[in-house]
Amino acid sequence: MARIAGVDLPKNKRVETGLTYIYGIGISRSQEIIKKTQINPDTLIKDLNDQEIVCIRKVLTEEYQIEGDLKRLESINIKRLIDIGTYRGKRHRNNLPLRGQRTRTNARTKRNSKKRTNRK
């Protein structure tokens, strides 16, 4: 089992799919990484040798922000929006959708605190 960026990658998946288990890496970024490291995308993660794993780690640390760093950056950006009082910041503070979705009938999960059940 390969461990990259603090994440145990599933051993019976292809490398292309397995890298997407790391926060901040989707399928397109995974394909970029595979091209840079020149690994066959059809290789299973359990079949990777140590040299290929080290090569993937090197590319990730040098060129991408992933896992904890990315989460920290996102939370800092959200905090900045809240502090300067933008519309999006206010929506974040009130736990409402930010991108123009309607809230009258949808957004049940965002408006969870308003939900009441009838108890007998």
Band (pLDDT 50/70/90 cuts) for residue 21 is very high
CA distances for 31 relative to 14, 20, 37, 60, 117, angstroms: 11, 10, 10, 13, 47
pLDDT computed for residue 4 by the predictor? 86
CATH architecture of 3-64: Orthogonal Bundle (1.10)
Domain ranges in the chain are: 3-64, 68-114
Residue range 31-48, pLDDT digits in tens: 999 999 999 989 999 999
Count other C-beta atoms under 10 Å from residue 88's C-beta: 12
The whole model's pTM is what? 0.74
Residue range 68-118, pLDDT digits in tens: 899 999 999 999 999 999 999 999 998 888 888 888 888 777 776 655 566
- Residue range 68-114, CATH number: 4.10.910.10
